[in-house]
Structure 1
């Protein structure tokens, strides 16, 4: 008997336990958080491909992690620009990790904007953001 895409008459369709998009997001995050795998270029490439679709759909954690990867690990200006935009979107959505990273990126060009994002991250408990705020020039 061949199985086709449709369920046989009379038997209910079985829903998948985890949607494929959510599964790919979880796998990508696991790969990036795994200390043995995260530093390998091929693993980062795979994780980046898995994060791309959820990031496009507005999943904040995917935007944050993909933005960080593109800003840190990619050599092209286009990738860094896309990563910068993804981090900004995630930071605006309230992701403290993205706020910290975006504030760090803004330090050289716009210290006032960096201060804004670092204060938001510090307000959510980020010790690194507090440390970086202390290094910014004081406002008069």
Structure 2
């Protein structure tokens, strides 16, 4: 009996592990019940890492928020801040607002940085940024 071996050119290349689209990861994080789960956040963080490294602003913003809010680790918080800064410089409103909030907190407390990022977010139409800026001016 003859062996039927496909020539190398016709064989299928090995498949890479399929990545879920960024849109699906963001959908998971935005679901009220799912998005608060630590395991979902861990999975989403892993899935956002590669697009964030590739410069996808939305991935940088969301991963930065996850790292700053949900990680007690100082190294992860530093990485989160850097990702938020990159996304903020690229014009992401949510990253700018988050940076403004974070710099207002007693843990960071850098009013000049907070004002800079809140002004950026307010210029894009964020009402919350405008309110935070108003509170900052009253407390000064």
Q: TM-score range by the shorter chain?
A: 0.7 to 0.9
- The answer (yes or no) to whether the contact 1:103–1:118 under 8 Å persists in 2 is yes
TM-score, normalisation: structure 2? 0.81
Match of 2:56 in 1: 59
- Aligned residue pairs total 126
TM-score, normalisation: structure 1? 0.81
Distance 1:30 1:53 in 2: 17
Q: In the alignment, which of 96, 104, 115 is matched to residue 93 of structure 2?
A: 96
Q: Does 1:130 align with 2:127?
A: no
Match of 1:114 in 2: 114
CA-based RMSD of the aligned residues comes to: 2.2
Distance 2:74 2:12 in 1: 44
Match of 1:14 in 2: none
Q: Could you list the runs of 4 or more consecutive aligned residues of structure 1 that deviate by over 4 angstroms after TM superposition?
A: none
Q: Does 1:5 align with 2:2?
A: no
54-63 or 111-120: bigger deviation? 111-120
- Structure 2 runs not aligned, ≥5 long: none
User: Which of these two proteins has the greater Rg computed from alpha carbons?
Assistant: 2
98-107 or 45-54: bigger deviation? 98-107
Q: Secondary structure at 1:36's aligned position in 2?
A: coil
- Structure 1 runs not aligned, ≥5 long: 7-19
Distance 1:126 1:117 in 2: 11
